[in-house]
Structures are given as structure tokens and as C-alpha cells.
Chains A and B, each alone.
Chain A
Amino acid sequence: MKLNNIFIIISAFCLMACNGNKSNQDKLNINSVLEGADGSGLEISAESMTSIIESIPSPLEVAMVIKESGNDFNEGLLNPQDNSRLYTTDQEKAMNIGIYGGDIGYINMFGKAYLTVNYLTSIKKLADAIKIGQFFDFSTIKRLASNSDKMDSLIFLTTMNFNKMDEFLRNQKRTNLSILMVVGTWTEGLYIATQVAQKSDNKEITEWIGCQKMIVDQLLLGLSAYKNDDYFRKLISDMNNLKEQYNKVEIIYEYHEPESQEIDGRLVIVDKSTSTVKITPEQIIQIGKIVDQMRLRLISNL
């Protein structure tokens, strides 16, 4: 009798366990179907798409290069806040969340906290519309923005908000919007950099622009998964124009063994490899023109 009871319990658990496994399998199958179905272009696995999206450099990096070059902040380079009312489709909203995200990186790096709250308000409005606005803690953002000593925390919080929005979209299998956000952020960074580079001859900014050659390829690969969609097709066409210009830019890479040393309990690696960028002022102008036209179309909804 005792054994019978135990066997009934075990059998019940085993049945539940089997059922659990089955539902996991179902989930995996549904996931693979969704992966295949959310774009009828080139098939890219969710894992590869995540890898592409996560590898794109933060907009803060180019903003720091610009700041360190001694150039002043130029508010005229930002996408005007009023433009946020122009964006009606989910794709336009995602793209311009990204573009405003690029602006936020530039704004924050120059410590213009008064603009941070305004721009985050526009981002939040667009994010709410595509159901990813829940990651913004506005009371904390406002508190941090009112104190210039808290700029580091503000940068951390806004970057986190963007990371979480992006992660959420991918978990929700809305990777098409995630890649648009990333393209928007990157485009804005490249736009600001090319505008600054054309007015001030700075080696670091010029090199940064040249190095974006490898990002163009990465983004084109990500976008190609959705190439049958009209919005994506136009974007791919613009990116191909950029790629054509970037084909003239040469990057020479030389590998050398890195050196490591321990400093204050931290492992510090000194890279001995080098990458040399060969880009002419004319190529900077041409890349600047293409990215300017592409961005204008995206922010003005032309």
C-alpha cells in the first residue's frame, strides 16, 4: 500500500516532467518557426542577430572622441524634438528612438543635462507607442539631471534604459525593431562625426569615421534579414551607397602579440596590434553627404 502510494506520486511527477519537457520542445519549435518567419529575406538565426546588434559600438564612444578633440557641443546637429510627432509607424518610431539615442549620447557626454530630460521625454513618447516605455524611471532621471555632479549616473541610467529596451524587443521576437534602433543610433553618431570632421581636421575623428567600414557590413547583414519589407529595402539601398564609398577606404591590420601586466590588482593589457586607416578628406565629404541624405530622409519621414 505504501509502495503503491509512492509509485502514484512518482508517476504523477514523471508525467508532469514529461509534459514540461514537451512544452519546452514546443517552445523551441515555435521559436525556430518565428525566427524563420519574422523576415522573409536572408535567414539569420536569433543568436547571430543578437551578436550583430550587441557588437555595434555605443554612441558614447564617438561622442567622447569628439569631446576629446576639443570641439564644442553643437545643438544644431541634433534631431529636433518636435520631429517626434512625425513618426507614425512602429518602424519609424524604432528608428527615431535610435536616432534620439545617438543624440542623448552626444548630449550626455558634453554634460548638457538640461537637454537630456527633454530628449528622453521624446524618446519615452515613442517608446510607449511601441510598448517599450516601461524601462524609463523619469523621477530618477529628472533628479540626476538637476545635479551636474550626477552626470555619470545619468549616463549609466540612460544607457541601461536603451540596453533594456533592446533586450526586451529581442526577447519579444521583435528583432526587426531592435535592429532599426541600432541603425538609428549608429547613423546619428556617424552623422555628427562627419559634420564635425568637415569643420575641424582631427585625426581621431577621421580614423573613427574610417573604421565604421566594418560596421556598415555588420548592419547590412542584419538588415538583409528583412529585405522584403519596403522600409528596410530603402534603408538597405542607403546603406549600400555608404558601403560603396567605404569600399574606397583601406584598413590595414597587423597582428602582434599583446603584453600584459598587473597594476593595482587589475590585469592591464597593452595591445601591440595596429590598424591603419587610409581615408582622404574627399572620402569624408562623400560619406558625410550620403549619411546626411539618409538621416534627413529618416528624421523627416520623406
Chain B
Amino acid sequence: MATILLVNKISFKTNENDRPTQKKICSLLFFVLFALLYPLGVFGQCDNDITLNNCASKLGTYNFIKYFTVGANQKKKSNPEFSYVFSTGSKYIMIACNENVVGGKMIVSLYDREHNLVASTYDESTKSYYDKLIYSCSATGVYYIRASFIDAKKGCGMCILGFDND
């Protein structure tokens, strides 16, 4: 706030000849502020509670198991991966939820124990996107759920995992 006031104060005193310099300074200030605020998550905050409530309502008859969040401030991996043991005879639902204003839609991809791709909510070749993936399991084992964003954009998202008997 103090910075903005100071910039205003400075700009009052400038004349026409100072405009290029003033533009440069403003651009510089913008970048400095961006660099400062980005690590604080100001441009990528995810409200998990709101997303969870909206997302859970899409479960229908499926029983809620857990949720995985993918945030703009995800520290380690750009495409985070979560594992879960799926059981034979159970039907699992994975719901991709986005609360993104600027980011791309979230893709949820399912991999088996050997990291073979089983399915994805986005088909790159046909550009088809689904927000729900249903998987009837006939081979118990560890499965991996990987989250990413269309066009490799960043964003906030949540994947809800639910189950039902087949």
C-alpha cells in the first residue's frame, strides 16, 4: 500500500519527458512485487474446503474414500502422483475438480502397478475431456493416480476417490 502511494506521489511530479522512465520504473516495480508475492502463494491459492464440498457432491451413490489436492503451490512435483490399493470386485470413481480462474483443466490419469496407463480423463488426440473416471477393478494391486493440467498449465485442483461394489 505504501509503495502504491509513493508511486502516485512520484507520478504527480513527473512531466511528459519523464514518461519512458516512469514506465520502466512501473514495470520494474511490478516484477519486483510479483517476485515477492508469488512465493507467498497470492497468485495460486486454492480453497480446499470449497473445492471439496463442491466436488464431493458429485460422488452420487459412491462412498467417499479420500481426496488428493493439487495446488499451485505444490512444492515437489509438477505432476503429483498418489497411490492407493484397489481391490478386485470394487468399482472406483475418480472425480477431477477445478477451481481455476486462469489455470488449465485438471487431468486425472490412472496407472497400474507397472505404471501402464489404464485411463485418463483427457484424450489429447480427440481433445475429449471428462471430469469423472470410473474403473471396475479385477486385479487387486497398487494403482497410481497422477494429476496434471491441460497444456501443462498450472492451477488448483482436487481429485476425489470413491468406491462402490461392482
Which A residues are within 8 Å of any B CB, using their own CB?
2-3, 5-6, 9-10, 13-14, 16-17, 20-21, 24, 47, 51, 54-58, 60-61, 64-65, 68, 152, 155-156, 159-160, 163, 204, 207-208, 211, 214-215, 218, 251, 253-255, 258, 260, 262-263, 265-275, 277
Contacts and interface: CB of A to CB of B under 8 A. Distances in A.
Interface in B115-139: 116, 118-119, 121, 130, 132-139
B138 A272 contact: yes
Interface stretch (B61-69, B97-105, B149-157): B61-69
A273 B13 CA distance: 74
Contact of A275 (B56, B116, B140): B140
Nearest to B59: A156
Across chains A and B, which 10 residue pairs bring their CB atoms closest together, nearest first? Answer: A273-B139, A275-B139, A211-B140, A55-B83, A267-B130, A266-B132, A269-B119, A271-B138, A269-B135, A268-B134
B3 interface: yes
A17 B119 CA distance: 42
B13 A60 contact: no
A208 B90 CA distance: 11
B147 to A, nearest CB: 13
A56 B142 CA distance: 9
Contacts of B6: 5, 9
Contact of A208 (B67, B87, B113, B130): B87
A268 B121 CA distance: 10
Nearest to B95: A266
Interface in B41-68: 52, 56, 59, 63-68
Nearest to A264: B132
Interface residues on B, range: 35 or more
Q: Is the interface of A mostly helix, strand, loop or mixed?
A: helix
B32 A14 contact: yes
Contacts of A270: 136
B136 A64 contact: no
Contacts of A3: 25
A262 B130 contact: yes
B112 A273 contact: yes
B84 A253 contact: no
A20 B36 contact: yes
B109 to A, nearest CB: 11
A270 B133 CA distance: 11
B9 to A, nearest CB: 9
Contact of A214 (B35, B116, B138, B140): B140
Contacts of A65: 87, 89, 165
B91 to A, nearest CB: 9
Nearest to B116: A255
Contacts of A214: 85, 140-142
Given A266-B134, A275-B140, A24 B64 contact: no
